[in-house]
Amino acid sequence: MASIHAENNLWPSQEYGQSVQNLKAAVGQQIYIAEVNFSGTHLSMTINSTAFELLAVQNFPKPNPQTGLLPHFILLDDGRGINLGRIARISINTPFNPPADKVLYRHEPLLKLLLSNEQRLTKEHISAISTALLKEVLQNAGKKRICG
């Protein structure tokens, strides 16, 4: 996976240390996770409505800005350990649209990438994508007629 962090930005962010402290203070509490899923072809986010008990916040032995692995991971009561670089948001009390005071951790680059792409809803962007897709469909239909 290519890095989502800009080359000239601090890594981890300045807010990261405070977020880790917030998480350590929340050990033993129920948390909600917006987990990021990386595959070879796409990036997606799952917001689970099930709360997990936060068991610990630990140092991660091999952080790497190029792969997005941050210096800490969390341990959950379901047996998983998840690197903070694979989590977009951790909140308490509610999984969906939590108020700012209920958010323990935010991975801003991931949230911006996954949630804040407003340009995708502009008429210009929709028109450009629609035109490209229509062109591709028509080209493929023409090839099938010629070949078949």
Q: What is the pLDDT of residues 38-68, one digit of tens each?
A: 776 677 888 989 999 999 999 999 998 888 8
Residues 55 and 75 in one domain: yes
Range of the domain at 45: 1-116
Residues 67 and 125 in one domain: no
What residue has token string 């601090």? 10
Q: What is the mean pLDDT of residues 9-38?
A: 89
Number of folded domains in the chain? 2
Residues 87 and 144 in one domain: no
Residues 49 and 88 in one domain: yes
